[in-house]
Amino acid sequence: MIALGIRYFTGYAVATNSSRERPEWPPHPGRVFMAMAAAHFETGADPAERAALEWLEAAPAPALRASDADERTSVRAYVPVNDDHGGILRRVRQERAFPRVRPHDDCVYLIWSGTPGRETRAALSSLCTKVTRVGHSMSAVQMWVLPENCQPEPNWLPASTGQDARLRVAAAGTLRSLETAFNGDAIQQYYMLADAVATSNGREKARLKRELQAEFPGGTPESRRPQLVNWQGYVRASAVGLDQPVADGPFDENFVVLTRTEGAMLGLESTLKLTRALRNGVMKATGAPIPEWLSGHDPAGAPSLNPHLAFFPLPYVGFEFADGHVLGIGIAVPRNIQPAEGATRDEELRRFLGPLLFDTDTGQERQILLWEKQAWRWLLERETRERPPLTLQRLSWTKPSRTWASVTPVVLHHHPKKRDGDVERIVKEAFVSAHFPEPESVSVRSVSAVEGAGHAMALPPFTEGGANLCRYQTHVVARFGRPVRGPMLVGRGRFRGYGLFRPIAEGEAHQ
């Protein structure tokens, strides 16, 4: 994660919402991005800062931590217009409103789930020192990048349903659109030509006038007011019980999302075929030696006791008429990777996953071909669309929640005894074994509580690891004492896509 802090020096935030009549609170992430972009352009447009802003605009919408705020009486002023015709103002003074709020806490935090490199973090840190206001000039601020070990707990979370607010956000291409709207290069060229005309004589003056007329037949180029057209729904964490500290699972929430670009429509019953084929592709692309966090085996060849790379389907589930067909595959990466000596975590990931995702010569995105005896063919690509389907959005699988329901069945580690509650006991132990908190309660069922996921026995028995191991598989709804963050994979088949859970709101699961 990376978090940016904003402190309002005056104790007030002055910015209008889209109606221009009410104050904006909490501050929209898009407004913060525009303030950073303005500081970037006004201070020399450093290329490293630009790359950092492009990383920020392409990242998923951030969570926020912002206190409540008291709305203050709107201050109205009258601004004279600048169209003096012969010393007589033809238009009346224009009324302007300056809505403001006084937040209970003068600090606000924006938290992105991505993991930027050291260069990106350093460039963002430098850029933040140049930001002096967010919104109106009366909103004087200080901005900074928080240390990696000091991440605030958000109380506003991006959400697709049950929204408490809609906030403007940046998206891929926002920085370029701001440049285009400002039209700075054309305006600078116009005034340079106009100055040259004013200071020249004779034929040179006539030539420059013709050039100015040819280049700018409409006169001074227009600089348009920047607009942000991307909106994101947000929900208060307290409304969904997320005002408590969140427990992180063993996998990084910024997992790799691969989308199907070609191939037959396959259902969840193909989970093991898909994940096995993708894992084989990763092993083939990586080459030896393969680290333990990727292979799942220690140096002696025994199964690793630590979390390692997991592959899981991304099916169309959780919506009315959902049928469970697989739209893509996720690759979950452990949080606690031990990189090679002298390397960073990012460098380790690029070294071993880069050859699968990118062409090593050109750096272009690669298509990943999956196959099994030529019986079926699938093509996958890394998901890069601005607005992919919800199934292919990470938040659908990682959003902190107290209640989680299985989409693929949980495979038990050992056979349950014929007594009441033994299956539930083994399931609880499976959560702990998978490095999640122990649930307060679990309920087991043959049919998933998630619309479209289907029956536990619709998936073939999980036989990886040996034919004599337990094959008992069941769907589960788990409830925790505090919110837990995904992706959540539990049980003996968790590294191959079995035991995949989805966060659900109370009452969302169908009966």
User: How does residue 510 score in pLDDT terms, banded at 50, 70 and 90?
Assistant: very low
**Nearest residue to 102 (alpha-carbon basis) of 62, 64, 151, 138:** 138
Per residue, the 3-state secondary structure of 346-361, as one string, reads HHHHHHHHHHHHECCC
Which residues fall within 8 angstroms of residue 290, CB to CB, at 6 or more apart? Answer: 283, 352
Q: What is the mean pLDDT of residues 70-89?
A: 53
What's residue 97's pLDDT?
55
How much of the chain exceeds pLDDT 90, in percent?
Answer: 39
- Helices and strands (DSSP H and E) totals, the chain: 11, 26
Q: Fill in the amino acid letter for 7.
A: R
What's residue 432's pLDDT?
95
Angle, alpha carbons 21-25-61 (nearest 5°)? 120
Phi then psi for 42, rounded to 5 degrees?
A: -80, -10
**Nearest residue to 396 (alpha-carbon basis) of 463, 476, 327:** 327
Q: For the ranges 8-12, 194-198, 296-300, which has the lowest average pLDDT?
A: 194-198
How much of the chain exceeds pLDDT 70, in percent?
Answer: 85
Q: What is the mean pLDDT of residues 309-326?
A: 93
Q: What is the mean pLDDT of residues 81-94?
A: 47
What's residue 29's pLDDT?
94
- Name which residue leads in pLDDT, 428 or 196: 428
| For residue 369, pLDDT beyond 60 | yes
| For residue 286, pLDDT beyond 90 | no
Q: What is the mean pLDDT of residues 25-36?
A: 92
Q: Mean pLDDT highest for which of 174-178, 236-240, 505-509?
A: 174-178
User: How does residue 191 score in pLDDT terms, banded at 50, 70 and 90?
Assistant: low
Phi-psi region of 457 (alpha: psi -120 to 50; beta: other; left: phi over 0): alpha
Give 251's strand partners: 334
User: How does residue 269 score in pLDDT terms, banded at 50, 70 and 90?
Assistant: very high
CA 191 and chain centroid, separation? 42
Phi then psi for 504, rounded to 5 degrees?
A: -135, 150
Q: Which two tokens stand for residue 194?
A: 């106009």
What's residue 243's pLDDT?
54
For the stretch 1-14, pLDDT in tens is 799 999 998 888 88
- In angstroms, rounded to a whole number, what is the distance separating the alpha carbons of residues 195 and 201? 12
Average pLDDT of every residue of the chain? 83
Q: Which two tokens stand for residue 389?
A: 């389907």
The CA distances from residue 259 to 7, 313, 324, 387, 397, in Å, are: 40, 10, 15, 13, 15
| For residue 312, pLDDT beyond 70 | yes
- In angstroms, rounded to a whole number, what is the distance separating the alpha carbons of residues 73 and 124? 35
User: How does residue 331 score in pLDDT terms, banded at 50, 70 and 90?
Assistant: very high
- In angstroms, rounded to a whole number, what is the distance separating the alpha carbons of residues 308 and 312? 13
Q: For the ranges 71-75, 107-111, 287-291, 428-432, which has the lowest average pLDDT?
A: 71-75
Q: What is the mean pLDDT of residues 387-400?
A: 86
**Nearest residue to 408 (alpha-carbon basis) of 448, 463, 462, 435:** 448
DSSP string, 71-119: EPPPEEEEE--S-EETTEE-SPPEEEEE-EEEESSSEEEEEE-S---HH
DSSP string, 459-510: SPP--TT-TTS---EEEEEEEEEEEEES-EE-STTGGGTTTEEEE--TTTS-
- In angstroms, rounded to a whole number, what is the distance separating the alpha carbons of residues 155 and 239? 9
| For residue 381, pLDDT beyond 80 | yes
Q: How many CB atoms lie within 10 A of CB 374?
A: 6
| For residue 89, pLDDT beyond 50 | no
Q: Which two tokens stand for residue 406?
A: 């299985």
- In angstroms, rounded to a whole number, what is the distance separating the alpha carbons of residues 398 and 485? 5
What's residue 503's pLDDT?
93
Which residues fall within 8 angstroms of residue 57, CB to CB, at 6 or more apart? Answer: 33, 170, 171, 172, 173, 174, 175
Going from N- to C-terminal start, the domains of the chain cover 2-179+230-240, 186-215, 247-503
pTM of this structure: 0.58
What's residue 453's pLDDT?
94
CATH fold for domain 2-179+230-240? Alpha-Beta Plaits (3.30.70)
What's residue 266's pLDDT?
92
The DSSP letter of residue 187 is H
What's residue 511's pLDDT?
43
C-beta of residue 382 within 8 angstroms of C-beta of residue 365? yes
Helix (H) or strand (E) holding 202: helix 202-215
Q: What is the mean pLDDT of residues 484-496?
A: 94
CA 380 and chain centroid, separation? 20
DSSP string, 39-66: HHHHTT--HHHHHHHHHHHHSPPPEEE-
For the stretch 168-189, pLDDT in tens is 899 888 888 777 765 556 566 7
- Name which residue leads in pLDDT, 382 or 301: 382
C-beta of residue 145 within 8 angstroms of C-beta of residue 128? yes
Which residues fall within 8 angstroms of residue 468, CB to CB, at 6 or more apart? Answer: none
What's residue 178's pLDDT?
79
User: How does residue 472 score in pLDDT terms, banded at 50, 70 and 90?
Assistant: very high
Classify residue 221 by burial, with Cβ atoms within 10 Å: 0-12, 13-18, 19+: middle
What's residue 85's pLDDT?
43
| For residue 433, pLDDT beyond 50 | yes
What's residue 88's pLDDT?
40
